[in-house]
Every structure is written in structure tokens, then in C-alpha cells.
């Protein structure tokens, strides 16, 4: 699962914005969760917007063939 992965930061999309199931577990393990909050969230939560916007660099590095368009 997500909590068994190595690394100190998790960049994920809004689908992983779940306090008990994801975010609290990561924080307990000393990891940083960079997950934008869902619009319908009742309690606001901060996240690193600049780091989240840079997540595309990871995709381009690990999956370079997906970044190339076929014309």
C-alpha cells in the first residue's frame, strides 16, 4: 500500500484525500502528504501547492514515452 512505500513525501491526487485512511498514517510514519483537498472537504487542510504542481516532472522522468505525442 501507500504507507509501505519508501520515501519521505507522497505526491497524490485528490482521490487520496482521506484523513484516517491515508494522511494520518503517513504523518505517523514521519512522511509528508502533498495531496490537494477535495472541494467538499468540511475541514480545510493545507498542502504544498508548488510541489504538487511540479509532480509532472516525475512522470516525465519515469515515463518519458508517455510524454511524447504520436502525430
**Which pLDDT belongs to residue 53?**
85
**Which pLDDT belongs to residue 16?**
84
At 15, the pLDDT band (50, 70, 90 cuts) reads: confident
Compute how many other C-beta atoms are within 10 angstroms of the C-beta atom of residue 16. 17
Choose between 3 and 36: higher pLDDT: 36
How confident is the model over 20-70, as pLDDT tens digits? 888 899 899 999 989 999 999 888 889 999 988 887 776 676 666 655 555
Amino acid at each position: 500500500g501507500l504507507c509501505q512505500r519508501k520515501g519521505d513525501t507522497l505526491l497524490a491526487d485528490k482521490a487520496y484525500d482521506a484523513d484516517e485512511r491515508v494522511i494520518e498514517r503517513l504523518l505517523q510514519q514521519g512522511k509528508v502528504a502533498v495531496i490537494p483537498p477535495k472541494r467538499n472537504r468540511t475541514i480545510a487542510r493545507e498542502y504544498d501547492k508548488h510541489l504538487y504542481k511540479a509532480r509532472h516532472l516525475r512522470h516525465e522522468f519515469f515515463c518519458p514515452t508517455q510524454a511524447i505525442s504520436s502525430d
